[in-house]
Amino acid sequence: MKIKDHPLENTPQKVVGGHEAILDGMGPKHSPNKEQPDTLLQNDPEDDKKDESENKVVDGTEGEHLLEQNDIRRGGPPTESDLPPRIGKINGSGVVEVVTPTTSEDHNGENELKKLDYEPLVSGSDNNDDSTDRTNFTTVTSAATLDSAYECRREELLERHKALLERRHKAGHLNMQLQTTLSEHFRRRRVEGGDTTHSNIDSMTSSIIDTGIDYTSRYAKYMETLAQVRNQFLEQKERLEQEINSLKELSNHKSNNATNKQAELAEFLLGQGKKAISSRTGRPLPTEHYINLIEAWQRKTAIVAIERLENLKLQRQVEKINAAFKAYDLSESLHLIDFEQMKIENQTYNEKIEERNEETSKLRRKITNMVQMITHANEKLQFCQAENSQLKDQLNLWAEKSSNGRDTLAKLKQVRDALRANHAALVRACGLLGRPEMLRGYEQSVNDVELKKHEISNMKQLTQKLQAKAKVYEDKFSHERRQH
């Protein structure tokens, strides 16, 4: 069983800040993506020649550390961790590139390593020449196990590749931030110390860093705008899909209603046809005749619906074509206008422009007058507001005085009511002392009563005298009667 070698390509890799290199060198079958990312781009040879003085060697113990960490089994093809140390150099943009040199000795060592890796399989096949079937079966099974192990290893390497890419991206951002802070710090120190020898270098480095920051910020802004546009597109797409679905549901609902109504109409017609009687024979017509008529009518209605849709589509197309023809005719008519007519129109337009200029001058005068009037009105308004504020102050003073007067008036009313009550009580207690007319009347009445009493006594005496005389006279009359 022959094992194919996986050649390693001298693909440069960019490393920022001295972090881990990306695992490359896999063949086209084992690469996670068909196209390499934008960060794995080769530099121009001119930039490499310019920066040869700044080449740096990356530590080669990284591959051994990866071998110890991952416990790589010596059964698959060579991986990135088996490679010799890489050489890193800085390109024109200030980014470190790692290049893995491949020499004849390295290829020989790799071939020997492959022979050692697959020696058990080959030795097993040579020692057992008689049992070829068994060796073929064992080689097939071992190849299957190797393929499965290689697939597992490939998945692990892909996951690590993604993790290293994320780590490198974060490290690049952190490196850029640290470089900016360091450049600002050293610039401030040099400005404070008065050192101007490295001003040009500082300006160049700061410009490079600023351009890098500018590019990163612009990239971030573009990504944000792209995300916003994508979200808007998705929202609009969802909205349009919802509208389309709603319109489809509405059309389906209406079409179902139409079909139901049509079916009801067909049933109604069939029922009426069953009830109908022929005028010639006096017998009901066969139902098959009505069924055939209804089917023909349904076919014709379907054809009419299709033709109506086609007619509507054609009408829309005709409207679009007519609009296009109108636009084309307008454009052509503009080209066919005579030059003299254009002159006349130009003169008329100039006259209109002069009229408009006069109107604008009049409007400017009106505007100035209105501005003056508005300023005068504003001044008058301010004066009125000041006077109004003064009057409001006076009104507040009079309101305070009126409130105080109301309080005193209420107190005086209370005193008046108290005095009235006391006076009424005193009047009730004194009787007729405070009423001279009543006293005079009372005195007159008393005098009248005494006079009447005196008169009564006199009348009583007179009556007594008269009664005595009458008695005497009665006695005389009685005595005389007795004598007679």
How, if at all, do strands 56-57 and 13-15 pair?
unpaired
d(CA 438, CA 185): 118
- Choice between 403 and 25, residue whose per-residue pLDDT is larger: 403
- Choice between 435 and 122, residue whose per-residue pLDDT is larger: 435
Question: What pLDDT shows up at residue 129?
Answer: 47
d(CA 202, CA 184): 9
Is residue 101 predicted with pLDDT exceeding 60?
no
Which residue has tokens 């001295």? Answer: 18
DSSP 103-130: -HHHHHHHHHHHHHHTHHHHHHHHH-SS
- Choice between 124 and 454, residue whose per-residue pLDDT is larger: 454
Question: What pLDDT shows up at residue 83?
Answer: 43
Residue 371: band (very low, low, confident or very high) from pLDDT cuts 50, 70, 90: very high
Burial 219-258 (b: 16+ CB within 10 A, else e): eeeeeeeeeeeeeeeeeeeeeeeeeeeeeeeeeeeeeeee
Is residue 146 predicted with pLDDT exceeding 90?
no
Is residue 223 predicted with pLDDT exceeding 60?
yes
DSSP bridge pairs for 87:
57, 99
- Choice between 185 and 28, residue whose per-residue pLDDT is larger: 185
Question: What pLDDT shows up at residue 279?
Answer: 77
What are the phi and psi torsion angles at 278 (to 5°)? -70, 140
Residue 219: band (very low, low, confident or very high) from pLDDT cuts 50, 70, 90: confident
Is residue 27 predicted with pLDDT exceeding 50?
no
Question: Dihedral (C-alpha) 455, 461, 465, 470: value to the nearest 10 degrees?
Answer: 70
Segment 36-56 mean pLDDT: 41
Question: What pLDDT shows up at residue 214?
Answer: 66
Tell if the pTM clears 0.85, that is, is over it. no
Q: Lowest-confidence range among 38-52, 167-181, 468-482?
A: 38-52
Residue 203: band (very low, low, confident or very high) from pLDDT cuts 50, 70, 90: low
Residue 188: band (very low, low, confident or very high) from pLDDT cuts 50, 70, 90: confident
Task: Select from 133, 73, 95 the least CA-distant residue to 19.
Answer: 95
Residue 234: band (very low, low, confident or very high) from pLDDT cuts 50, 70, 90: very high
Share of the chain above pLDDT 90, in %: 29
Segment 401-422 mean pLDDT: 93
Is residue 388 predicted with pLDDT exceeding 90?
yes
Is residue 119 predicted with pLDDT exceeding 90?
no
Is residue 387 predicted with pLDDT exceeding 90?
yes
- Choice between 130 and 226, residue whose per-residue pLDDT is larger: 226
- Choice between 58 and 153, residue whose per-residue pLDDT is larger: 153
- Choice between 273 and 59, residue whose per-residue pLDDT is larger: 273
Share of the chain above pLDDT 70, in %: 63
Question: What pLDDT shows up at residue 180?
Answer: 78
- Choice between 176 and 465, residue whose per-residue pLDDT is larger: 465
The two tokens of residue 12 are 């440069």
